[in-house]
């Protein structure tokens, strides 16, 4: 039996096929440019040639139909027919205060998700469209929604409320929700394993740094604060999002430029962040330009590191004791210059980075410790695995064994857990970069 996971954006559909019996990834892929003149698919199956093609995909329905076709293809497929799919897990941006954990999809659930569109107008319509399309293509298979906001539901009122008219909360649900929840869940539980501690005894700060970025404070195994708010706009400097700013800037600039609310929203979400600062969004390009003397690129790196450092310091104060700081997601795992900009000069907090370890840690297939031996708090680089969280939630919902994460045990909480696909790739990484072996971290109670 396999579990299919889908992550549908406004013009894309990412997917993964997981062999539940052998606990291994069979295929991953993405369909892009949905609804445009032509769409593209990139399909990578285990032990097979990569497949890429252009095709017509006016809606997500055609995209998902092609994904299914690829999964059963004689040459590139990984299953013989749809009966091998046990369940489908769907990533959903916003659960509001309605969905506090993953749920099986029903017509009523779809109706409630549509009520939440105002809280995520850029992402929710695509998420829902993908679910509806997948249910049409696979009507006899259980479908589950996995909410990006669910992990953060343990935040106390003093963390999730804004100092705004209280009626905004009661009438319009304006509060902090937080995002990247599946990633923060995975990394929090993996950090506990690597520390050799129970979740309930673990305090960690997780920095999920990608094109979108957020920090999460985890106390006694649950989220107590996070940097993103009502939407994913608040918090860190991101690829195209501004992150924190003085709210008075918005009416000031609207008056100066005569921007409409929608134009301002687009500017803050799509034209700010690194793009606004230096004209680039990919941290690799920013780093290259900075090394070549581009002052604005240098400023962008300093500002991004400065913002992350501020959140680490604030959350260290909030937690009292920090067992580990975790970096994850594309930039967190591969951007040593961003990690260093965030970690330098905070040894007084008990968070002491080893510069050589950090600068040589560029790998997405292992878990690494880049802190000095003497550092009271460990600094881990942990590749996230949101798809595995989605897979296990979908499987458990299908079998009626699912519960909130504090009462539920994931496979990756086992000290002996191994991601087989990453383990295979890590062998090749270690051949090219032997130094990585010296910073690999293993659970202290693993066999």
Greatest alpha-carbon pair distance for the chain in Å reads 64
Bridge partners, 92 (sequence order): 147
Rounded Cα distance, 97 and 84, in Å: 34
Rounded Cα distance, 118 and 131, in Å: 18
Rounded Cα distance, 445 and 257, in Å: 60
Closest CA to 185 of 159, 206, 212: 206
Instruction: Write out the catalytic residue numbers.
Output: 148
218 close to 224: Cβ distance less than 8 angstroms: yes
Long-range own/partner contacts, residues 263-272 (CB < 8 A, 24 or more apart): 268/233, 268/241, 268/242, 269/122, 269/233, 269/240, 269/241, 270/240, 271/240, 272/240, 272/241, 272/242
- DSSP count for the chain of H helices, then E strands: 17, 14
What is the DSSP secondary-structure string of 213-233? EEEEEEETTEEEEES--SSTT
């Amino acid at each position: 039996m396999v579990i299919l996971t889908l992550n549908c954006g406004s013009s894309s559909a990412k997917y993964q096929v997981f062999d539940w019996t052998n606990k291994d990834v069979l295929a991953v892929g993405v369909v892009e440019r949905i609804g445009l003149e032509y769409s593209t698919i990139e399909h990578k199956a285990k032990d097979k040639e990569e497949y890429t093609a252009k095709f017509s995909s006016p809606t997500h329905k055609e995209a998902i139909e092609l994904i299914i076709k690829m999964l059963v293809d004689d040459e590139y497929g990984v299953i013989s027919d749809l009966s091998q799919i046990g369940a489908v897990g769907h990533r959903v941006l916003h659960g509001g205060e309605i969905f506090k954990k993953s749920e099986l999809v029903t017509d009523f659930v779809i109706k409630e998700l549509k009520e939440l569109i105002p809280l995520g107008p850029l992402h929710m319509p695509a998420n829902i469209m993908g679910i509806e399309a997948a249910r049409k293509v696979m009507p006899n298979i259980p479908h589950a929604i996995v909410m990006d906001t669910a992990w953060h539901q343990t935040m106390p009122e003093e963390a999730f409320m804004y100092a705004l008219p209280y009626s905004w909360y009661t009438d319009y649900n304006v509060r902090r929700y937080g995002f990247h929840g599946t990633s923060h869940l995975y990394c929090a539980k993996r950090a506990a394993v690597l520390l050799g501690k129970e979740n309930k005894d673990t305090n960690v700060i997780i920095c999920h740094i990608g094109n979108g970025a957020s920090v999460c404070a985890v106390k006694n195994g649950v989220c107590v604060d996070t940097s993103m708010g009502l939407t994913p706009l608040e918090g860190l400097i991101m690829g195209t999002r501004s992150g924190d700013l003085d709210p008075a800037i918005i009416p000031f600039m609207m008056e100066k430029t005569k921007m409409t609310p929608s134009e301002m929203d687009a500017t803050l979400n799509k034209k700010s962040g690194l793009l606004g600062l230096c004209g680039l969004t990919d941290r690799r390009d920013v780093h290259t330009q900075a090394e070549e003397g581009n002052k604005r690129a240098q400023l962008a790196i300093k500002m991004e590191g400065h913002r992350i450092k501020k959140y680490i310091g604030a959350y260290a104060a909030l937690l009292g004791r920090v067992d580990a700081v975790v970096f994850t997601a594309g930039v967190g795992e591969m951007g040593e210059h961003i990690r260093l900009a965030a970690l330098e000069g905070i040894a007084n907090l008990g968070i002491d980075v080893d510069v050589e370890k950090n600068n040589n840690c560029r790998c997405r297939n292992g878990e690494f410790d880049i802190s000095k031996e003497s550092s009271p708090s460990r600094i881990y680089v942990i590749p996230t695995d949101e798809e595995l969280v989605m897979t296990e939630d979908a499987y458990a919902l299908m079998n009626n064994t699912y519960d909130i994460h504090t009462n539920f045990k994931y496979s990756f909480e086992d000290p002996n857990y191994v991601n087989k696909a990453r383990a295979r790739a890590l062998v090749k990484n270690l051949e090219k970069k032997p130094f990585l072996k010296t910073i690999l971290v293993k659970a202290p109670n693993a066999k």
